[in-house]
Each structure stands twice: as C-alpha cells, then as structure tokens.
C-alpha cells in the first residue's frame, strides 16, 4: 500500500475491451477479486494468504502483485468504486443545493444503492467488507488510509462547487471531512452496538448523522446527578 502501486483500482465502468489481451487481463483481475473474497469470507482477511488467492486462480503470487499493490488493495476495490460513484453523484446534484445538502444526498444515495446491490458489486460484498474490517486491523487501517487520501479529491470538488479556493479556506476541507465523519459515526454505532440498534441501515444512520451535524451539535452537558 506504499510507494509504487502498479495501477491501483483502475476498474473503470464497463469498457468493452478491445484486444484479447485486455479481456484476459480483466478476467484474471476479476477472478482474483472473487477468489479473494471467497477466501476472506471463509477464513478472514489476515488468515488468508496472497498465495492462496493466487493459487485459487492458478497464477503465481508474483502475478497477484502485478494486479494489486497489496492484499488490502484487492479488498478495497469496492471502496474505490463507491468513492467514484460518490463523486459522480455529488457533481450530479442540482447546482442550487447548498453543498452540505448535496453532500448528504449524494452520500446517502450511494449507500442506499450499495445496500441494494445497485453498484458494480453485490450486497454480500458490502456486508463482507464491514465484517472483515471489524476483525482485521490492517484492513481497517487500509480502508481509513484510502478514505483519507481520497478526501483531498473530495475537498477540491467541494471547493469547486462552492466557488472558493481550498488553499486558505478551511470550509471545503471541513465539508469533505464531514462526509467521512458521518459515515464513520454511523458505522461505529452500528458495529459496536449491533444488538441495540437492531436493523437500522447504514444509510439511515448516516443520514441522521448529517442531520445532527447540520444542527450544529449544540448539546448541553447533563447535570452531574451526584
């Protein structure tokens, strides 16, 4: 996940590959992703070795690393797709919406789409990622890192929409960070108190989180009972 990424998550939408070579490459790539998730689901992220993934597709592990920069990378394919979808959704929002509203609708929309399996991947994959990240700190770290790195892009888009310069103006940075923040807050509550909050969907919780943030967070401290 460090310096040189061969071609980290290119995975554009449906481009009809011209040559046989391209098609074969695409097939290998997807086979690796499938195999990886099967194994992850079966034995967890950490317990699955790159060699096992590669063997399942009958390529050498060296080849695996020609497709993915790291073991995390293959798992974060979907996160990358989600992020790209978010960018699209955000720019597609009507231009007269306040930024935070546009962001909120875009984020919630994407999460709903993901939950309905309407993005490039199945719902199980989405759930699987959530589960995996609870058990694997390295995967969690990778996911957070990915999100963090993408935040710079998001900031630029937000700044553009606001018509301000991201150098010197903190506001677009905060708005972009808020998207992250709302998602994390929602995911945290659901993961840590799964039984208590029952079947609240991530999308719903994120929407609530945005509502809370937009309210300004001005909650009183409780009077000390004692």
Partner DNA sequence: GTTCAAAGTGTCATAGGATGACAGATGTCG
Partner DNA sequence: CGACATCTGTCATCCTATGACACTTTGAAC
Q: Which residues bind DNA (CB under 7 A)?
A: 1-4, 18-22, 24-25, 28, 48-51, 58-63, 65-67, 69-72
C-alpha 190/C-alpha 184 separation (Å) is: 10
Query: Which listed option, a second copy, DNA, none, makes contact with residue 50 (CB within 5 to 8 Å by class)?
Result: DNA
| Number of residues in contact with a second copy under rule CB under 8 A | 68
Give the residue with the Cβ less far from a second copy, 100 or 113: 100
Residue 40 CB-half CA count within 13 A: 27
How many other CB atoms sit within 10 Å of the CB of residue 183? 18
- Minimum distance between the CB of residue 180 and a second copy, rounded to whole angstroms? 7
Query: Which listed option, DNA, a second copy, none, makes contact with residue 134 (CB within 5 to 8 Å by class)?
Result: none
79-118 as b/e, with b when 16 or more CB fall inside 10 Å? bbbbbbbbbebbeebeeeeebbebbbbbbbbbbbebbeee
DSSP 95: T
The string of DSSP codes covering 102-143 is HHHHHHHHHHHHHHTT-SSS-HHHHHHHHHHHHH-HHHHHHH
Residue 83 binds to a second copy (criterion: CB under 8 A) = no
- Minimum distance between the CB of residue 76 and a second copy, rounded to whole angstroms? 11
Residues 162-221 touching a second copy, rule: CB under 8 A, are 162-164, 166-168, 170-171, 173-178, 180-182, 184-186, 188-189, 192-193, 196-197, 205, 208-209, 212-221
Contact status, residue 1 vs residue 145, Cβ threshold 8 Å? yes
Kindly state the tokens that stand for 179.
Answer: 């998207």
Query: Which listed option, a second copy, DNA, none, makes contact with residue 130 (CB within 5 to 8 Å by class)?
Result: none
How many other CB atoms sit within 10 Å of the CB of residue 163? 6
Select from 39, 128, 142, 202 the one that contacts a second copy (CB under 8 A): 142
DSSP 221: P
Write down the residue that tokens 């509550």 correspond to.
Answer: 189
Query: Which listed option, a second copy, DNA, none, makes contact with residue 80 (CB within 5 to 8 Å by class)?
Result: none
Q: Kindly list the residues in this chain that would bind a second copy in the complex (CB under 8 A).
A: 1-3, 46, 95-100, 102, 136-138, 140-142, 144-145, 148-149, 151-152, 155, 161-164, 166-168, 170-171, 173-178, 180-182, 184-186, 188-189, 192-193, 196-197, 205, 208-209, 212-225
């Amino acid at each position: 996940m460090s310096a040189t990424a061969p071609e980290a998550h290119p995975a554009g939408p449906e481009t009809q590959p011209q040559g046989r070579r391209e098609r074969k490459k695409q097939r290998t790539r997807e086979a690796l992703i499938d195999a990886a998730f099967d194994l992850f689901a079966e034995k967890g992220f950490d317990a699955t070795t790159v060699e096992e993934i590669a063997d399942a597709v009958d390529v050498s592990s060296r080849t695996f690393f020609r497709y993915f920069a790291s073991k995390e990378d293959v798992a974060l394919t979907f996160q990358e797709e989600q992020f790209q979808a978010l960018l699209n959704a955000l720019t597609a929002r009507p231009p007269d919406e306040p930024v935070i509203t546009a962001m909120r609708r875009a984020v919630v929309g994407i999460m709903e789409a993901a939950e309905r399996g309407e993005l490039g991947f199945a719902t199980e994959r989405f759930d699987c990622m959530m589960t995996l990240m609870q058990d694997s700190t390295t995967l969690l770290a990778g996911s957070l890192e990915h999100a963090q790195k993408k935040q710079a892009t998001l900031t630029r888009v937000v700044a553009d929409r606001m018509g301000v310069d991201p150098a010197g103006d903190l506001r677009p940075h905060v708005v972009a960070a808020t998207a992250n923040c709302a998602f994390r807050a929602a995911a945290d509550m659901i993961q840590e108190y799964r039984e208590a909050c029952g079947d609240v969907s991530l999308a719903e919780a994120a929407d609530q989180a945005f509502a809370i943030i937009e309210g300004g967070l001005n909650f009183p401290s409780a009077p000390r009972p004692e």
